[in-house]
Structure formats: C-alpha cells, structure tokens
C-alpha cells in the first residue's frame, strides 16, 4: 500500500463548478497535511496546509481533514481554466514530506 | 522577498559522471530539503538539512550526498550517474518542520 494515495485522474470539471480532490494516507502519526499545485514543467506551489481535523478555507480553496478516516481533501470552488494543473497531496509524518502521485485536473471553458 | 533559487536550471551529463546541484533558501529559512521528481510521479524525498545537520534521508543510494553551509544554502551531489537519475531535482526551504516552499528545480538529463 502506498503511503499517500490519490486518484491520478484526469479529472475534468466545467468552468464555475466545484472540483473535489481526494487523498488518503497510511501513517496514523501524520500531523501536517499539504496541497501543492504543479503546472506542467514547473515546480510545486504550496496552496493549502491543514493541521487540525475539520475544514480550512482560503479564498476559493477549502481543505478538509479527517484523521480518524486518514483522509484529506481539497475543494476548489468556482473552478477556472487557470486551475488546470496537477494537484499533489503531501503528508508530513516524521520530517519527511511524502507525496502522492498527484491528480491531474482540467477545467473546461 | 526572493523565493528559493536553484542552479543550474538544466544540466546534461553522461553516465558515470558526477553532478552538483545548488540551492539557496528563502531568507530566514534554516531548513533545506531535496526531492527527486520523475515524470508522472510526486516528488520523492532525498535529504533534509536543518542548521547544517542532516535530519532525514530518504531511500536513495549512497551515490547521493548533500550538505548545508553556514548561510543555509545547500548542495546535492550525485556520483556515478545512471540513466535512471534523469529527473527534476527540487529544493524546498522551510523555517523548521512546517510548510515547505519549492524552488524552480534543476532538470537533469543523463545520456
């Protein structure tokens, strides 16, 4: 079992819709959770981090964490074509940021 | 403030050669981590340094080594290059054990 699992996609949503990206992790000791956005040919860009159970909102982005279910998600409201990218979930169990393989999101105009 | 910088941007080497990649962290950040990213995969952790001490090492062979300097910049060295070492090498900086910010990366091609 991979330590951090994401659906590879591709996930396509129409412009203005809500995009929902999901991630599960195996290490119950994980304390910190991150979402990075990576455009093709570029490096990952940190867009959200969450440390506590529940929801955390930042603009159009909402991160949701459920430690009991070992599940973290990212919602993107009012999706725009510029949101088209690969979204990487990362978990910080012990000084080693562990990434999933990423979900490729395409927002269709 | 300037972000994380890495050099060089691109590099082409042949098998068996050695390579040194460089990274300067965000001002005030004392931790530098190195990652390898191959196409279609998420970044894989190689090393983390904090205050010049190695704090973590990923599952990479001893051909990979790194160090951190008093100004918190860092070098990643790879010896005896293999074709499979071709990848994007990413450096990330953080204040300590928290959010990491990535540099633009060095794309290494081994022929």
Phi, psi (deg, nearest 5) at residue A94? -155, 80
- pLDDT recorded at residue A92: 87
- pLDDT recorded at residue A50: 95
For A48, A86, B24, B67, B71, the CA distances from B33, given in Å and listed in that order, are 19, 21, 11, 10, 15
Q: Do A101 and B42 touch (CB under 8 A)?
A: yes
- pLDDT recorded at residue B1: 62
Residue with tokens 């910010």: B101
Is some CB atom of chain B closer than 8 A to the CB atom of A47?
Answer: no
- pLDDT recorded at residue A31: 87
pLDDT along chain B (111 residues), means of 10: 92 98 96 96 95 93 97 97 98 87 98 97
Nearest to B45 among A43, A45, A97 (CB): A97
Is some CB atom of chain B closer than 8 A to the CB atom of A95?
Answer: yes
- pLDDT recorded at residue B97: 67
CA atoms within 13 A on the CB side of B91: 34
8 Å CB contact between A36 and A87: yes
pLDDT in single tens digits along all 109 residues of chain A: 669 999 878 999 999 999 999 999 998 888 899 999 999 999 999 999 999 999 999 999 999 999 999 999 999 999 999 999 999 999 987 668 899 999 999 999 9
């Amino acid at each position: 079992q991979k330590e951090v699992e994401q659906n590879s996609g591709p996930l396509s949503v129409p412009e203005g819709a809500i995009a929902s990206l999901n991630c599960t992790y195996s290490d119950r000791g994980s304390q910190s959770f991150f979402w990075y956005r990576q455009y093709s040919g570029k490096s990952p860009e940190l867009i959200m981090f969450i440390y506590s159970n529940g929801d955390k909102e930042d603009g159009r982005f909402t991160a949701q964490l459920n430690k009991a279910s070992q599940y973290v998600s990212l919602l993107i409201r009012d999706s725009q074509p510029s949101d088209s990218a690969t979204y990487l979930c990362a978990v910080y169990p012990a000084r080693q940021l562990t990434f999933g393989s990423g979900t490729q999101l395409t927002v269709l105009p | 403030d300037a972000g994380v910088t890495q050099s060089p941007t691109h590099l082409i080497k042949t098998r068996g050669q050695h390579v040194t990649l460089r990274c300067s962290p965000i001002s005030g950040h004392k931790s530098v981590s190195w990652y390898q990213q191959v196409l279609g995969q998420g970044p894989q952790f190689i090393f983390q340094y904090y205050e010049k001490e190695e704090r973590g090492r990923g599952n990479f062979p001893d051909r990979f080594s790194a160090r951190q300097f008093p100004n918190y910049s860092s070098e990643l060295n790879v010896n005896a290059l293999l074709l499979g070492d071709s990848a994007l090498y990413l450096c990330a900086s953080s204040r300590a054990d928290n959010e990491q910010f990535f540099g633009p990366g060095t794309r290494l091609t081994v022929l």
